[in-house]
A = this chain, B = another copy of it.
Amino acid sequence: MTARLKAIYHVRGEAGSIEARAQAIAVEQSVEMPVDAIDDAFVLSEIVGRVESIAEISPGTFEVEVGLSAETISDDPGQLLNMLFGNTSLHDDVTLHDMVLPPEVIACFGGPHQGLDGLRARVGARDRALTCSALKPQGLPSPDLADLAHRLALGGLDYIKDDHGLADQAFSPFAQRAAACAEAVRLASEFTGHQTRYIPSVSGHLDRMRQQLEFARDVGIDTVMIAPMIAGFSNVWLLAREYPDVAFLAHPTMGGASRIAPTLLISRLFRLVGADGVIFPNSGGRFGYSRETCKAIAARALEPWESLQSSAPIPAGGMTLERVPEMLSFYGADVILLVGGALLSARSELVAATKAFTAAVADHNYA
């Protein structure tokens, strides 16, 4: 038998009809045609999706496990998404809850090159949590963004990333912005003695992202942000293979709510295609993920998974300085704390506020 993967769905339904519904999902996600019109022995035994288990996990909600041949995926991460959830994503009664991949599929995709360890090594921070902030608002000219980056770097941050809204717009074109921000951060790092990294956001079609990566490398940048749901999984994966020395942070924009479990999408799928760090909305911020969900996202991004590097968890989305001790107690040291707008609100006191942030992280008792 060929290697098989498992897609795990949560399906709303009734006990009397769930078996038929599960079977319909298994067919929809594999051969997508009446099974009794299939003669081919290989297709019948290997390719037609198989319902492997059905369990009622709460009243009216069933966990359905469907086995699929790994051959249907070949070596393409986009095709993995297609097989896991493609047409079934169009059905309102189903969410994609989890997946189980055979080792050879995981090895084929390869995951992150740097992981949390690599992100630590870049900034020389071994035992503490890492710090990050964001350049915004979009609409500012590149010199103003570079000035912000300079002041944030003077505050001793580890990473300073573009807002995910920053693309290749007329008000701060990618090349101009990346060059200016990288230089501003380099100058501040010389002053502080700390190796702060600037992280530009790459976007657009594959050719354009590749051009942006080439340009970024030319100006000394070794870490970038990318949005897998917009760029396309296959393209993110390819870039992570083509630029093994670059660290990639995944942004969850367009990740949808409630249709693909975030512990799968963010901690597994983004990691599988090569995200060295994964940004996600922390509980108690502007988004609705629970504490349990956030804990699970972080744990899964870090836990051993075959031979893959970890993805650094990056909780974000409305975090404040006041929450730093609580977040560190909750996540421990294996985390990158991202505080964006709350630092920018300090305005002329930006450097001081940033220093307070980095000091709180450095001085925290992680024991």
Chain A residues proximal to chain B, CB less than 8 Å: 24, 28, 30-34, 36-40, 42-43, 46-48, 69, 71-74, 76, 78-79, 81-83, 85-87, 89-92, 136-140, 144, 163-165, 167-171, 203-208, 227, 230-235, 237-238, 252-259, 281, 286-288, 317, 340-342, 344-345, 347
Contact = CB atoms under 8 A, between A and B. Distances in A.
Contacts of A76: 167-168, 203-205, 208
A139 B40 contact: yes
Given A139-B31, A256-B256, A79 B288 contact: no
A299 B258 CA distance: 30
Which of A140, A163, A205 lies at the interface centre, i.e. has the most chain B CB atoms within 10 A of its CB? A205
Contact of A257 (B90, B341, B345): B90
B30 A72 contact: no
Interface centre among A43, A137, A347 (most CB of B within 10 A): A137
A24 B286 contact: yes
Q: Tell me the interface secondary structure of chain A in the complex.
A: loop
Contacts of A138: 30-31, 43, 47, 72
Nearest to A94: B257
A38 to B, nearest CB: 6
A321 to B, nearest CB: 14
Given A136-B32, A204-B78, A286-B24, A254 B83 contact: no
B139 A42 contact: yes
A254 B259 CA distance: 10
25 contacts: A28-B286, A31-B136, A31-B137, A31-B138, A31-B165, A32-B341, A33-B163, A37-B341, A37-B345, A40-B137, A40-B140, A43-B137, A72-B167, A76-B167, A78-B204, A79-B168, A79-B203, A82-B164, A82-B230, A203-B234, A205-B234, A205-B238, A230-B233, A232-B232, A259-B259
A206 B205 contact: yes
B79 A204 contact: yes
B287 A254 contact: no
